[in-house]
Amino acid sequence: HDAENDYKQSNPNSQKWHERAIRVLPGGNTRSILHTDPFPIYMDRGEGNRLIDVDGHEYLDLVGEMTAGVCGHSNPIIRDAIISTVTKTGLNLGATTAAELGFAEQVRSRFPSMEQIRFCNSGTEANIYALSIARQATGLSKVIVFNGAYHGGVLTFVHGASVNTIDRNDWVVGSYNDHEGVQRLISENRGKAAAVLVEGMQGAGGCIPGSAKFMHAIQKATKENGILFILDEVITSRLAPGGLQSTILDPHDGTPLKPDITTLGKWIAGGMTIGAFGGRQELLSIYDPRPASESAMQGKPAQMSHSGTFNNNTLAMHVGLVVLSSVYTPAVCTELNALGDWFRQELLDRCQGTRMTVTGVGAVCNIHFGAHEDQREILRIEHLDERHSKADSSLRDFFWFQAVQKGFWIARRGMVTLTMGTTRLELREFIEFVEDF
């Protein structure tokens, strides 16, 4: 209660903006996740890995736009790409451009399972398109997803149910990380399900890594049952140069994951709106408008159209190209995620003997707040059901108010993501804050 009062007193301008905003925006904003009681903080600007709010407070940005902001707020290469696009290229030429081709080639070189690629405007869209490819290719409509999954605003699955407003009855919701259950679920849905759609680490679900056993069980069972394997790498593609799929190795033969279709979004265009989906050439050829005799694959399933005014907008294409080729390069990606592994371990060490724990991979993690004194209750969080039943949301909120007061901008739900250029020294300050807390 005191923490909330301190928050109110230190943020009078944010409160004023909020009072005005609730008149025109339901709840005061246009992204549910930004809702914060008693009111959200209004940010004025971002510089590198810092944010400054409308009351003049400066924060170390540990939200990093929910993983999309990995390049920081004012990366000079991105800034130059934006300026040169606006001044020399122009916005949206209503035509294909070389930047679109260059960006697609960069995506394929990083994620080889994406043999052919199409762009769209968000991760949500990318998943919807991936599902429509699967439905067209198989002639089936059901989709297997997992409890706690977040594949976009209209593709959210909690407490064993779909909270979607589209295709309400087409979802089969399985249990994440249940490698035996998933094999059963997939074989039971043979001839009914078009695809399994899954994250290699549940992001919004609490940064819960998928075990190699679970992920490879999905890959094997989908192949055996004529169901497509769609891997949502909208967040996890930033966790290794080749995405998380390159690091989740088959426990039997050490091979990486090779999904039929992969979806991307968030960081890949350096902060511009973006989505991308790609995979096996014969699947993507559904969108190849050339007559079958000319297209790469004979006997492909019936064609579909993929359109969208801003799919190849010049800003996203140019910035995406430079992000993959010159900003978030494989070397930068490896270094940032190694820093993240160190950071997470340091946090975990501080959490020993407390009601807190940390889950995640590389530079994306989530701090959890347990309802029980018994450490063992919260240390093995493997899926969302456990997180909910074992969570203490008032402790989590108290932590958030304290973090914000101390100048650390973290997601209210405990998600912490690192941005390029963040130093060990800056992270040590947060680690000390956690230790004192």
Does position 123 bind ligand PLP by CB under 6 A? yes
Q: At what angle do helices 12-21 and 2-10 cross, to 10 degrees?
A: 90
Does position 209 bind ligand PLP by CB under 6 A? no
156 — alpha (psi -120 to 50), left (phi > 0) or beta?
beta
Q: How far is CA 15 from CA 23, 46, 135, 306, in A?
A: 13, 20, 47, 43
What does the angle CA 362 – CA 367 – CA 372 come to, to the nearest 5 degrees?
140
Does position 124 bind ligand PLP by CB under 6 A? yes
Query: What residues numbered 9-38 form the site for ligand PLP, per CB under 6 A?
Result: none
Least spacing, CB of residue 143 vs ligand PLP, in Å = 14
Q: Among residues 146 and 430, whose Cβ is nearest to ligand PLP? A: 146
Q: 118, 308 in Cβ contact below 8 A?
A: no
Range in contact with ligand PLP (rule: CB under 6 A) among 51-59, 123-131, 209-217, 318-326 = 123-131
Exposure on the CB side of residue 291, measured as CA atoms within 13 A: 2
Least spacing, CB of residue 155 vs ligand PLP, in Å = 7
Mask for 338-377, x = binds ligand PLP (CB under 6 A): ----------------------------------------
Give the one residue of 3, 52, 66, 82 binding ligand PLP; rule: CB under 6 A. 66
State how far Cα 24 lies from the chain centre: 29
Q: Among residues 276 and 391, whose Cβ is nearest to ligand PLP? A: 276
Strand bridging mode 50-53 / 43-47:
antiparallel
Query: CA 60, CA 51: separation in Å to the nearest integer?
Result: 7
Give the one residue of 146, 150, 399, 400 binding ligand PLP; rule: CB under 6 A. 150
Task: Give the residue closest to ligand PLP by C-beta.
Answer: 123
Does position 197 bind ligand PLP by CB under 6 A? no
Q: Kindly calculate the radius of gyration of the chain based on its CA atoms and give it in whole angstroms.
A: 22
347: three-class secondary structure by DSSP: helix
Tokens of 337: 């995620």
Least spacing, CB of residue 315 vs ligand PLP, in Å = 16
- Find the farthest-apart pair of alpha carbons in the chain and give their distance in angstroms, rounded: 71
Mask for 225-244, x = binds ligand PLP (CB under 6 A): -------x-xx---------
Query: CA 67, CA 51: separation in Å to the nearest integer?
Result: 15
Does position 122 bind ligand PLP by CB under 6 A? yes
Q: 390, 378 in Cβ contact below 8 A?
A: yes
Q: Among residues 203 and 370, whose Cβ is nearest to ligand PLP? A: 203
Give the one residue of 69, 203, 259, 279 binding ligand PLP; rule: CB under 6 A. 203
Give the one residue of 186, 204, 221, 261 binding ligand PLP; rule: CB under 6 A. 204
Does position 271 bind ligand PLP by CB under 6 A? no
Does position 154 bind ligand PLP by CB under 6 A? no
Q: At what angle do helices 314-322 and 76-84 cross, to 10 degrees?
A: 150
Residues forming beta bridges with residue 196, ordered by sequence position: 144, 229
Count of residues that bind ligand PLP according to CB under 6 A: 17
Where along the sequence are the contacts to ligand PLP (CB under 6 A)? 66, 122-124, 127, 150-152, 199, 203-204, 232, 234-235, 265-266, 275
